[in-house]
Every structure is written in structure tokens, then in C-alpha cells.
Structure 1
Amino acid sequence: MKLYLSFFFLAFSYNSFTQPNCNYFLNEGDTLKYEACLQTENAKGHYQFSKEYQIAMDKAIKIDPTFAYPYRAKSVAYLKSGDFIEWKRLIDLAVKYDPLGNLGYRASCRYQFFRDYGGTIVDIEELLRISNADIGHSANGNYHLQVVRALCYKALGRKQKAIDLIETQLQAEGYVIGIYDYIHLGVLYLENGDLSNAKLNFKKQQDYNDLAENHFYMSKVFKAENNLKKAKIELQKAVELYEIGYVMSDPYVHPVDKIFWSMIKVEQKSLN
């Protein structure tokens, strides 16, 4: 089981957004951003929702209104508290002043929290256009942004486009497989009627990070092949993993292709 990867990426993705090195701006000769950056250091030790934290960022913005970091830093509290209008205003300013550093974050949030598929695609494709390096992962660390892009295309009905994007990403040099990549790809093939490739990817998922969803959808493959005996065996495995909590998860939203007990019950009835 490789569930630990989700916690690693989650910690990494949030910890990677840290206080910038103020000396960088000084070395670049940008004394205004240097002063603004120093001001943001006054937020250290304060919670994002606290008055002290927000004031420190406001003062930095006053020193240099084009400094992207404090806009994004301020926005996090509004996202967590559900004030999405203020979050959007602030993150849009962060993107305006540093698109390379913030487009990926805005895109992943648009997908994760708002299911803004079209907006997410626009952000990721703009990031691909301006970036000369790997565009990185979603804010929660669960997905490479190309997989996020693929899931958006799936939601918009372009399943073959989604398959092609994930397959290409899986073959990218040095790519670390995402914890749910094979499940999503398998489901896409299943929905497209390609049972052979669906089965292949569910087997890969089982070897990499076995989850209840994987066996649930494998059961559907066997049912489509009229192999009810194997379908029942796979569904029982799904039940066992579901009961001990080996399922797709996200602390804020329900992931795409996640299963629920009601779905298992429906499948059980269909196999009787």
C-alpha cells in the first residue's frame, strides 16, 4: 500500500509555498520587493486567519502592490473559510503579478473546490505555454496538473482526450505515478468500452495502491464480460477494503470516481 504518498505530497505541496528568500530580490536590485518581502516575515508564527498575519501581508502589499506572494498568502485563509469571492480576487492578483508561480495553484483549486473545468483547463494550458519546465502537481499533491487537465476534459465529455493526456503523462521521463492515476485511467477505458485496457490499469492500480474503488470498477469489467463469478469476487474485495477505510479520499471534497456504500449495494443487487 502506498497511501503514505498522499500525505507526503499534501505536506510537501503546502510546505513548498513558504516565505520567499528576500535576499533574492535584493540581489536582483529590486529594493521595493525586498522591503515588501521583509515585511511579510512579520507574519511568521501567526495563524493565517489572525489579524497579525493579515496586517503583515497588507503592509507588504502597500509597499509593493505588484508583489504576488502576499496576495496568495492572504487568499489561503479565505479559501479555507469559504469566502470564495475574496479568495478569487486575491488569487487573481497573485496570478497577474506572477503567473508562472500561481497559475497551477489557481487551476488546481478551481478544479478541486469549484469543479470549474473550463477555467482549470485554461489556466493549465496557459501555464504549459509559458513554462519551460514540468508544470508540477495540484495544491493537494494528489495529481499532476496534466492529470487534472485530463479529468476536466473527461467531465466535459472528451474522454479520449482525457485518456491520451493521462497515457502521455504516465510515460513522461521521471514521472512519479499518482496515487489514483491508474484508477482514473481504468474508469475512462471502462466508460469507453475498452474492457481490456480497463482491466490492465486496474491490475496496475492493485499492485501500486490497492483501494476499494479499484475492485469495485474491476467488478464492473467482469460483469460486462458476463463473468459474474469473478465480478462477485471483486465486489467482495471492494467491500472488505471499504470497511477498513482503504478508499479514495480528500479532506475537502469527494474525488472523481470515488465510491459510496449505496453504490456497492446497487452492484450487489445487480449480481444476484
Structure 2
Amino acid sequence: MKYLNFLILLFAFSNVFAQPNCEAYKYYGDTLKYEACKKAMEISGHYQFSKKYQTILDESIEIDPTFDYAYWAKSIAYLKSGDFVSWKKLIDKAVELKPKNHLGYRGWCRYQFFRDYKGAIKDFEKLDSLVGYDIGQSQNGTYHLNIAKGLCYKAIGEKEKAVQIIEKQIKLNEKENFIGSYDYLHLGVLYLELGNFEKAIELFKKQSKDNELAENQYYLALAYKNLNKKTEYKSCLEKAKELYIGQSRMFDFYSNPMDKVYLENIENEIKTAYNNGHR
């Protein structure tokens, strides 16, 4: 699991900070884009929210208004500062110029920051239609974009379709021995919500082996509760509280992941178990 987390972090870091190869533009004779690229690279060392950072990118765009990287790089500061209107205009321009490079990123942001599930699905599916290769990971490295797409379908109420998409991607991930940190958990919760409690338990147990979380034990407890397995129900709730207090829980720097639970949820369920005579 530690090796997986390292790879995920490495991928996320390289994806976020990847820079274009300016020399490639020069090699292919696109001198305008070469000059725009060289100008854009001057942002190195400048704070994203600084006037200098934005001015350099503006100058890059002035050199070549079709240089997609400059629009994408400018957009990041607006996203982080909460100016989503400006972010949208800039990222839309980057997508227009190079859809293969930026559709996945825009789709992920639509999912993560805006809960624009239908818009995210549209971006993921458009990207998939344009490329003949794997559409890749989310910007933070936590999910394959197809897992994110499945979660989007869940969010709009199409849970059976979500199951199909996530199951398919998990099988591919298993072949590569590259399971996402929350993949089994999300699929287990879907089966729990669809009333297939035995299948949900199977997946929660896989999640336990791969990456144990407070959320996982909480949902496992609910599955056992529905099967009237009182001892297991109680045990999982206690374990969920212990894991939560010990910081073993779902986490994202910028937003709350889908299916996340809080200590209050766990403690309220423990009270319910006690009041119903399960303890």
C-alpha cells in the first residue's frame, strides 16, 4: 500500500507540474509557439497568485493566442482563489485548443470542486472518444477518471450504471496491481445502497486488506446491521470510531470525498445500536 501511495503521489506531482517541451516546437518549425513557450517558462519561481506570474502568461498569450498551456497555467490561480468564473473561461479556452490535454483535468475539477456531475461525465466521455489510450488519473492521483465517472453517475441517481463502470475499471486496475485508495469502498457503498449486503461486505473486506478506513468499517457495520448480525455490527462501529480518532479516514486537501463520514455519524450510529439493544 505504501508503494501504491508513493506512485499515486508521484503521478499527481508530475501531472500537475508537467511543462511543455519548448524545443519540440522549435524542432517542428513552430517558432511562434516556441517563443510563447519560452516566455511562459519564466513563471518558474513565481507565486501563482502574484501579478508577475499572471503578467508573464499574458505576454505568452500575446505572442501566440493558440498556446494552450498558458491558459491552463493561468487558470490554476483562479481555481485556488475561488474565482471560478475566470477559471472556467481560461480552462475552456485550453480545452478548445487542445481537448486531449485538458478534458480530463476540466472534468475532474467539475466533479471535485463544483459537483457538476453531468458536465464531468460529458468531459470524461468526450476524452474517451478522442483518444485510443487510457484516459488516466484524476489530478490528485486518487482516482482513475473512469472511477470518477462512475461516481458521477451515482450522484445523478444512475447507481446500476455506476456499478458497471466502477467494476470494469477495478478489474483493469487489479490486473495492473494499481488499486485506488478508495475504489473498493465506493463500490461497496453502491452495493449497500442497492441492497446487496453480502456483496457489499465482500468489497469492504477487500478495502480492509488494501487500505483500512473509518468509513469502511462504518459502512461494513451498516451492512451487518441489515443482515441482523449484531455482534459484527457493534464491533465494526467501535473499530470505525477507533480508526477515525486515529486519523485513518478519507481525506482530500480541497474537498470532501464522496461517501466520507464524520465522527458524529459514527457516534450517532453507536447510540442507535445501544438504544436498540445491540450492545
- Alignment partner, residue 50 of structure 1: 50
Distance in 2 of aligned mates of 1:14 and 1:69: 17
Q: Which residue of 2 aligns with 1:223?
A: 225
* Residue matched to 1:236: 238
Compare 175-184 and 102-111 and name the one that shifted more: 175-184
Question: What's the offset of the Cα at 1:103?
Answer: 0.3
Note the C-alpha offset of 1:10. Answer: 4.3
Tell me the distance in 1 between the aligned counterparts of 2:147 and 2:40.
34
Deviation at 1:9, TM superposition (A): 2.7
Other-structure match for 1:77? 77
Distance of 2:135 and 2:177 partners within structure 1: 12
Q: Which runs of 4+ in 1 moved over 3 A?
A: 2-8
Opposite residue 8 of structure 2, the aligned amino acid is: F
2:144 alignment partner in structure 1? 144
Supply the distance in 2 between the matched residues of 1:255 and 1:169 (Cα, whole angstroms): 19
Name the residue aligned to 1:88: 88
| Contact 1:3/1:179 (<8 A) preserved | no
CA change 1:60–1:118 in 2 (3 A) is same
State the alpha-carbon separation in 1 of the partners of residues 47 and 143 from structure 2: 27
The answer to whether the Cα contact below 8 Å between 2:151 and 2:162 also exists between their aligned partners in 1 is yes
Matches within 5 A, 1:187-206: 187-206=189-208
Structure 1 pair 271–258 and aligned structure 2 pair: CA distance change class (3 A): same
1:38 shift after superposition: 0.8
Per mean C-alpha deviation after superposition, the further-off stretch among 16-25 and 64-73 is: 16-25
1:180 alignment partner in structure 2: 182
State the AA in 2 paired with 1:230.
E
**Aligned letter for 1:180?**
Y
CA gap of 1:59–1:175, structure 2 versus 1, over 3 A, is farther
The correspondence of residues 49-128 of structure 1 with structure 2, limited to 5 A, is 49-128=49-128
Quick one: distance in 2 between partners of 1:64 and 1:201?
A: 51
**Where does residue 35 of structure 2 map in the other structure?**
35
Confirm or deny: 8 A CA contact 1:72 1:94 kept in the other structure: yes
Residue 43 of structure 1: how far off its partner (Å): 1.0
Kept after mapping to 2: 8 A contact 1:40/1:70: yes
Aligned to 1:253: 255
Q: 2: distance between equivalents of 1:258 and 1:41?
A: 39
Provide the TM-score with structure 1 as the length reference. Answer: 0.96
TM-score, normalised with respect to structure 2: 0.94
What is the DSSP-based 3-state SS (H/G/I as helix, E as strand, rest coil) of the residue aligned with 1:114? coil
Structure 1 CA distance, aligned partners of 2:97 and 2:118?
22
Take 1:49 and 1:36, find their aligned partners in 2: how far apart are those partners?
Answer: 20
Q: 1:4 to 1:111 in 2, by over 3 A?
A: farther
* 1:22 paired to 2:22: yes
- Higher RCO (CA-CA < 8 Å; seq separation 6+): 1
Q: Deviations for 1:126-172, whole angstroms, at most 9, x for unmatched residues?
A: 00000111101111111110000000000011101011101100111
**Contact 2:241/2:267 (<8 A) preserved:** no
Shift of 1:50: 1.4
Q: Distance in 1 between matches of 2:209 and 2:219?
A: 15
Aligned residue identity for 1:56: I
Aligned CA distance change for structure 1 residues 254 and 6 (closer, same or farther; 3 Å): farther
Counterpart Cα distance in 1 of 2:56 and 2:251: 35
- Alignment match, 2:129: 129
Q: Deviations over 1:48-89 (max 9, x none)?
A: 111221111111101111110010001000011110110001
SS in structure 2 of the partner of residue 171 of structure 1 = helix
SS of the residue corresponding to residue 157 of structure 2 reads coil
Corresponding residue of 2:277: none
Which ranges in structure 2 are unaligned for 5 or more consecutive residues? 275-279
